[in-house]
Amino acid sequence: MSFTNKPSVALTLDQVVELVDQLSPADKLKVAKRIQKRQRSKDIDRLVEIFSKVKISEKRLTAMVEEERAKIHAREQTRPARR
């Protein structure tokens, strides 16, 4: 037998959607942000798992980063200035 401090309720997807529909717009935004945060965390974990298997030299990695920075800089230069 185990005890937890958090209550656990089994809900169907339809029940969850119905509950979320009852929330205020601000609370709906909080729910959406929480879901996105968890998904990003899972995505980052997956990327770490993938890239931990990739062997690349520091020199090559630096070159790749510099290439991407140059592309970003070039894109920024073509954009109209913000005021």
Residues 43-83: tens digit of each pLDDT: 999 988 988 888 888 999 899 999 999 999 999 888 876 65
Q: Are 11 and 3 in contact (CB under 8 A)?
A: no
| 5-9, 28-32, 39-43: the lowest-pLDDT one | 5-9
Q: What is the pLDDT of residue 1?
A: 54
Euclidean distance between CA atoms 68 and 79, whole angstroms: 17
**pLDDT over 90 at 4, yes or no:** no
**pLDDT over 90 at 32, yes or no:** yes
Detail the DSSP E strand segments found in the chain: none
Euclidean distance between CA atoms 1 and 53, whole angstroms: 40
Residue of 49, 45, 65 whose CA lies nearest to 57: 65
Q: Which sequence spans correspond to the domains of the chain? A: 13-78
